Every structure is written in C-alpha cells, then in structure tokens.
Amino acid sequence: MQWNSFADFLSMGGYAVYVWSSFGLTILALIWEVAALRLRKSKAIKQIKQADAWAKRRVER
Amino acid sequence: MTGINWFKYAAPQTFFHLSGKWIPVLGWIAFFLAIAGLYIGFFIAPTDFQQGEAYRIIFIHVPAAWMSMVIYLAMAFWAAIGLVFNTRLSAMMALALAPTGALFTALALITGSFWGKPTWGTWWVWDARLTSELILLFLYVGFIALHASIDNPQRADRAAAIIAIVGALNVPIIYFSVQWWNTLHQGASINVASAPKMAVTMLIGMLVMTLASWAYSVAVALFRVRCIILERERHAAWVNDLKEVKS
C-alpha cells in the first residue's frame, strides 16, 4: 500500500481535485441513471393501471 | 440450433419475465466487481512513475471509453437485426442501449479532460481520438433525438437504425485513431499483439472495473428494455396480468 495516512490518500499526491471529481461524477451519474429508470418503470405501471381501471369502469356501465 | 426456438425469446412477453430474473443478479455482480476493482485501483496498484497519482483516473476512464464503443456496436447490431428481420424486441434493445452508451461516452470525455488537465496541461485538444469520441456522443444523441421525433414507433425504429448502422463506421476510427494519426492522446494500454505496457496490478484493476461496467450496462439496458416493453405493449393482455400491475 502506498498511503501513509488517510489524509495522504485523500490528497492523491496533489491530484485530489481531478481524481475525486472523476470518480465522484461517475458514481453520481450511475446512481442518477438507475433512479431515473426506476421512476420510468413505476410511471409506466401507473399508466397501465389507470388504463385498466378506465376499461373496467366502462364495462360496468 | 434446431433444438431451441430462438424466436420464443424474441417475444417481448417471454423476454420480460426472463430479464426480470437476470437484472438483480447482474446488478450485484456489477456492485461487488466495482468494489473489488476500486480496492485494487486505489490500494494495490502502485503509483505511476510518470503521472503520479493522476493516472488512477484510468480505472474509470478506460472502462467508460471501452463501454462507449462496445455499447455502440451492440446498439448497431440490434438495430440492424431489427431492420432486417423486423423483430420488435431487437429495435427496443437498440433503443435501450443508447442512453447508457451516451452516458459512458460523456463520462469518458469528462474523466478524460480531468486527466488531460494535470498531465497535458489542457482540458481539451482537437486531436483524432478526442474528436472522434465526441462524434460518437453526437451519434448517440442523434439516434435518441431522431427516434424521439417520430411518433410511430416502428418508423422511428427503422429511421434510427440507419443512423446507428452508418455511425458504426466511427468506432474503428476511434479505436485506431492513436495509430493512424499523431495524437496527444497516449496509445493503447492493452494491445493484442504485444505485452501490456503497465504494471500487472494496474491491468487487473482496469479489467475488473471493465467487467463491472459490462455487468452494469447489461443490467441497466435490460431494465430499460422492460420499461420500453411496458410502454409499448401497455394494451396487451399479458401486461395487465403482470403481478406488478395487479398489486
């Protein structure tokens, strides 16, 4: 291991801004993508449920 | 070939159920591989003697750049299959891959500029590698935008497929750009013809991160295909019988 302390690890040999920005941004982007997809799925299911309820109401009338 | 009916899996209904089982498995594989890859990348791989710690961006930059090209080829492949055989699911697959491919392309460009600033002294140069990768991003965006601009899904699939297929020409240009032209971008880290020009632990970290990216991409693309199936087939009887809809 090449780090003497946690602070040493965080400083990334003076390149902290570049290294941590790269990894941080990537992690945020992936979390965002998964969250957006979950939202999309629940929206699609909600829409199907609504259409289903509509159709049933029409049959009852 | 004869024993398996491949078209069975091309039916959105069968595929929807099958893919639902694979997504959590792939998701966890991606998660644990990423943890392992980051551990190797930050704690086992040595400091680079030329670039210091800045080189550690490689563990995200190279996998992202590889995925940007691989996903494009996969997208073009499914688009072509959809165009030739007129299978519904193939075109949906191409459409599902595009946003993830665009995301990885953007990440490759951005992490690349975070790497370029400390090592080259500039965020961006118009060299062949960077420019062709930027064109790849435009191809993805063009594919998505064209598809979104046509209301009829089948017509949108066909029109967008043409962009995907023609744009595939750009992928070998990106890949060989560092050989064909004199670029500021460094040459390939891994080459089929020669031994890797890097420490073994660096290489392993990069490969583990790449496998994690593969698993992530497949999981996310499958998830998106399922969303597209739900949106397009919402009038089909089987969709109304799904347990997600019933509950």
Inter-chain touch B53–A13, beta carbons under 8 Å: yes
Model confidence pLDDT, tens digit, residues B21-65 = 999 999 999 999 999 999 999 999 998 888 889 999 999 999 999
| Confidence at residue B189, expressed as pLDDT on a 0 to 100 scale | 72
ipTM for this prediction: 0.90
| pLDDT level of residue B223 (50, 70, 90 thresholds) | very high
Inter-chain touch A25–B216, beta carbons under 8 Å: no
Name which of B107, B70, B11 is nearest B215 in CA terms. Answer: B70
Shortest distance between the Cα of A30 and any Cα of chain B, in A, equals 9
| Confidence at residue B7, expressed as pLDDT on a 0 to 100 scale | 64
- Binning chain A into helix, strand and coil, the percentages to the nearest 5 are 90, 0, 10
Model confidence pLDDT, tens digit, residues B57-105 = 999 999 999 999 999 999 999 999 999 998 889 999 999 999 999 999 9
B231: Cβ–Cβ under 8 A, 6 or more apart, which residues? A44, A47
| Confidence at residue B128, expressed as pLDDT on a 0 to 100 scale | 92
Tell me the C-alpha distance between B104 and B36, whole Å: 20
- Locate the chain B residue with the closest alpha carbon to A8: B53
Shortest distance between the Cα of B4 and any Cα of chain A, in A, equals 31
- Locate the chain A residue with the closest alpha carbon to B201: A1
Residue B235 has pLDDT above 60, yes or no: yes
What's the average model confidence in pLDDT over B135-161? 96
Segments of chain A with pLDDT less than 70 = 1, 61
| DSSP per residue, B10-47 | TSHHHHHHHHHHHHHHHHHHHHHHHHHHHHIIIIISPP
Inter-chain touch B220–A37, beta carbons under 8 Å: yes
| pLDDT level of residue B192 (50, 70, 90 thresholds) | low
Q: Which residues of A touch B110 (CB under 8 A)?
A: 22, 25
- Locate the chain A residue with the closest alpha carbon to B238: A48
Tell me the C-alpha distance between B147 and B73, whole Å: 18
| Confidence at residue B112, expressed as pLDDT on a 0 to 100 scale | 95
Residue B157 has pLDDT above 90, yes or no: yes
Residue B8 has pLDDT above 80, yes or no: no
- Locate the chain A residue with the closest alpha carbon to B100: A33
| Confidence at residue B124, expressed as pLDDT on a 0 to 100 scale | 93
Residue boundaries of the structural domains of chain A: 17-60
CB B43 within 8 A of CB B119: no
Inter-chain touch A3–B43, beta carbons under 8 Å: yes
Tell me the C-alpha distance between A44 and B60, whole Å: 33
Q: Which residues of B touch A9 (CB under 8 A)?
A: 42
Tell me the C-alpha distance between B168 and B203, whole Å: 28
How many A×B Cβ pairs under 8 Å?
Answer: 87
Q: Which of B57, B110, B224 sits opposite A19 (nearest CB)?
A: B57
Inter-chain touch B110–A37, beta carbons under 8 Å: no
Mutation to test the A interface, candidates B40, B234, B235, most A Cβ within 10 Å = B234
Inter-chain touch A37–B54, beta carbons under 8 Å: no
Residue B212 has pLDDT above 60, yes or no: yes
What are the structure tokens assigned to B13, written together? 């209904």
Tell me the C-alpha distance between A59 and B91, whole Å: 35
List Cα–Cα distances, B223 to A43, B22, B81, B216, in angstroms. 14, 10, 20, 11
Residue B247 has pLDDT above 80, yes or no: no
What's the average model confidence in pLDDT over B173-197? 78
Contacts 24+ apart (CB under 8 A), B155-158: B157/B79, B157/B82, B157/B83, B157/B91, B157/B94, B157/B95, B158/B83, B158/B91
